[in-house]
Amino acid sequence: MPDFEALRHEFQILERKTYLNSCSLGALSRRSERYLTDFVDRWHDMGASAWYRHWLGRVEELRGRVSAFLGATPRELALLPSTSAALAAITESVPPKGRNRVVCTELDFPTLAYQWTVKPEIEMVILRSPDGIGIDPEQFAQVVDERTLFLATSHVFFATGYEQDLNALSKIAQNAGAYSLIDGYQGAGQTNLLLPKTGIDFYTTGPLKWLIGGPGLSYLYVRDELVSELEPRLTSWFATKRQFDFDLEGFEYRDDARRFELGTPALPTIHTALGGQEIIDEVGMEAIIARNTMLTDHLIAAAEAAGMRLTLADADHRTFIVMIQHDDPSGAVKHLAANDIIVDHRPGHIRVSPHFYNTTEEIDLCVETLTRYGC
């Protein structure tokens, strides 16, 4: 079992703050900071030659680590600047096949739906949640049909922490001949992932949140059988097979998922993400899940004992995002911040998300401080 108390020293913010907001932004590690400093030092010392002698190697090192973490291969992983860019790359790669329906849910993060709401030829079907927490797969099955191009939804809903069943979703899409596209930004780092075994076609995530790697980067998994089949209409010089030939007339797609990449990657985030991913790999997802389950259970029990009202998924679909109902969530979050406790809010709720570097004592302090404000 990892020494979680020792791991806390890796994160400087914990020396000054009670940080319970990893579902918005993971804490910065000393290792990521060292890698970022190394990037800056090489820029000073080597200039552009650092690209060939060091930085491109870092890009591929990160690709290898992340693809292994997702249970995939490096040829199935593209690196893009954001989830919005990754979604756009896919929507502009898939031929319509005479289909014009896209199915998502009201609980998805808006950027997922925005890819199609601006396209007048697309019929958007937005599923409503009966309880405001989750969606039953049967709801998808009732509307995903021969008209459907994409079943597009979240792995974990950002405002409820509800985890959807990827295997069920992929089967529903496959049975209708539709593509499955999953926004997994709240999924990776909360759950064990072996993406090829799920049957999902496309999965996008990144280092910003639970993978403690910072903003400016997204990971796009493309199921191996689809990689060579699709020809993106959004492209870049990183997507071409002979990148350094500089031939304007000789564009040829790469043979792997790099054909979906949209240009020069954000090298600072490549370095911070690599530091974060190394730590995640060393601690291991089994240990992280066990630790975060304990912390979340403690948070739920403490909040309920304090008389707080929670919006919770059932145990089979629950992750490590805890939503506390509140009439003034913005004011409550400001009160907590004034006491050096960092959480987040969404409409009608305070959002608390412990990660493996947190402690039960920090959770108790958060609950006690919130109780003084009023719950």
Instruction: Tell me what pLDDT residue 96 has.
Output: 86
pTM: 0.96
Q: How much of the chain, in percent, has pLDDT values that exceed 90?
A: 92
**Cα torsion for 75, 77, 80, 84, to the nearest 10°?**
130
Q: What share of the chain is helix, strand, coil (3-state, %, to 5)?
A: 45, 15, 40
24, pLDDT greater than 90: yes
Indicate if the alpha-carbon torsion angle 318, 320, 325, 329 is positive or negative: negative
Fold (CATH) for 36-280 = Aspartate Aminotransferase; domain 2 (3.40.640)
Contact 270, 58 (CB under 8 A): yes
CB atoms within 10 A of CB 202: 27
E-state strands within the chain: 18-19, 77-80, 101-105, 123-127, 148-154, 179-183, 202-205, 218-222, 310-311, 322-325, 341-342, 344-346, 349-352
Pairing type for strands 123-127 and 101-105 reads parallel
Sheet arrangement for strand 322-325? 310-311, 322-325, 349-352, 344-346
Nearest to 318 by CA among 134, 69, 107, 128: 134
**Mean pLDDT, rounded, of the chain:** 96
Contact 184, 155 (CB under 8 A): yes
Locate the domains of the chain by residue range: 4-28+284-373, 36-280
Helices (H), 260-323: 267-283, 285-305
CATH superfamily, domain at 4-28+284-373: Aspartate Aminotransferase, domain 1 (3.90.1150.10)
Q: Does residue 244 register a pLDDT over 80?
A: no
Instruction: List, for residues 178-227, the tens digit of each pLDDT value.
Output: 999 999 999 999 999 999 999 999 999 999 999 999 999 999 999 999 99
